[in-house]
Amino acid sequence: MSDGCKEKLQGFSPRPLRLFSATSAVKSFPMRLLILGRGKTGTLVAEVAATRKHHLVIAGAKENASSAALTPERLRDIDTVIDFTAPHCVIDNIEACVAASKNMVVGTTGWHNHLDHIRSLVEQHGTGFLYASNFSIGVNLFFDVARSAAAALRHDYTGQIFERHHAQKKDAPSGTAIALQHLIREASGQPGDLEIISFREGEVVGLHEVVLESPADRIYLCHDAKSRRGFAEGAVRGAEWLAGKKGFYDFKDVWREL
């Protein structure tokens, strides 16, 4: 966000918004989860799942080389697999888990050009599958705000999307930025996509900004993740929501039910 916009927000105290309560949330019950990925987010997913009293098996790249951790025998006692790995291996992971009839939650991005193929596999095997470009509740609220703001493009506004992530992030633009781009195009009804400008630097967790500008004014929308915990909590709560369900789901369509 620009310095000018930050200055204008100083002293602004919005009324607290209650999103959900413990009584309305999905009830947690012990599940046996296989978490794929020992990176920063995968490690935090394991911490959140342990806090919520689930039983964990964790497999990093070494343990899952050539899908060694995803044989039918090793998956037999697993309820749900949560994947936070990398784009180059996620399709093989998905195919192995779906073939073994295991429900799956996928937070890895960079594979969504294979959505039709994966949807077909999930339907064929009768499993449950939940994916997201971002499992953060805050980001999904941000999506809703951006969807409403997209109407500006029908009133002589132009726009851009800016996103910043840590230097080690493999995909650019991010899955979240691409999701923003798609939903703004669909909501605005205008041809063409907003330009995405990506930055990779330091340890930035994830910052996404939509800028809409007209000759008269400028609109800034921004979501700045302070930690990865929001991603991890959303993924674990998503796995709890998916328990006992079959079908192919996008987190943006179900997060209000958590």
Are 158 and 191 in a shared domain?
A: yes
Can you tell me the distance from the alpha carbon of 41 to that of 242, in angstroms, rounded to the nearest whole number? 20
pLDDT for the residue 219: 98
Residue 40: pLDDT over 80? yes
Q: What is the mean pLDDT of residues 30-38?
A: 97
Tokens encoding 102: 């295991």
Residue with the larger pLDDT of the pair 26 and 58: 58
Give the distance from CA 128 to its chain's centroid. 17
Are 183 and 241 in a shared domain?
A: no
H-helix or E-strand spanning residue 120: helix 115-125
Say which CATH number the domain at 246 has.
Answer: 3.40.50.720
Are 118 and 157 in a shared domain?
A: no
pLDDT for the residue 24: 40
Residue 239 lies in domain: 32-135+230-257
Selection from 218, 222, 255 nearest residue 236 by Cα: 255
Rounded mean pLDDT of the chain?
90
| pLDDT tens-place string over residues 128-170 | 999 999 999 999 999 999 999 999 999 999 999 999 999 988 8
Report if residue 204 sits inside a domain.
yes
Residues 6 or more apart in contact with residue 189 via CB below 8 angstroms = 154
Are 38 and 130 in a shared domain?
A: yes
H-helix or E-strand spanning residue 250: strand 247-250
Residue 72: pLDDT over 80? yes
Report if residue 5 sits inside a domain.
no
| pLDDT tens-place string over residues 112-131 | 999 999 999 999 999 999 99
Are 223 and 239 in a shared domain?
A: no
Q: What is the mean pLDDT of residues 6-34?
A: 55
Split into its structural domains, the chain has a count of 2
Are 212 and 188 in a shared domain?
A: yes
Say which CATH number the domain at 204 has.
Answer: 3.30.360.10
Strand partners, 82: 35, 105
Active site amino acids: 165, 169
Report if residue 13 sits inside a domain.
no
Can you tell me the distance from the alpha carbon of 133 to that of 163, in angstroms, rounded to the nearest whole number? 14
Report if residue 18 sits inside a domain.
no
Are 46 and 94 in a shared domain?
A: yes
| pLDDT tens-place string over residues 183-238 | 999 999 999 999 999 999 999 999 999 999 999 999 999 999 999 999 999 999 99
Can you tell me the distance from the alpha carbon of 57 to that of 78, in angstroms, rounded to the nearest whole number? 9
CB 223 within 8 Å of CB 142: yes
Residue 61: pLDDT over 80? yes
Report if residue 10 sits inside a domain.
no
Report if residue 84 sits inside a domain.
yes
Q: What dihedral do alpha carbons 238, 239, 244, 245 form, nearest 10°?
A: 50
pTM value is 0.83
Are 113 and 128 in a shared domain?
A: yes
Report if residue 12 sits inside a domain.
no
Report if residue 82 sits inside a domain.
yes
Q: What is the mean pLDDT of residues 24-46?
A: 86
Are 174 and 125 in a shared domain?
A: no
Cα 221 to Cα 17, 42, 159, 253: the distances in Å are 18, 28, 11, 21
DSSP string, 56-117: EEEE-TTTTGGGGGGSHHHHTT-SEEEE---HHHHHHHHHHHHHTT-EEEE---S-GGGHHH
Residue 256 pLDDT class (50, 70, 90 cuts): very high
pLDDT for the residue 171: 85
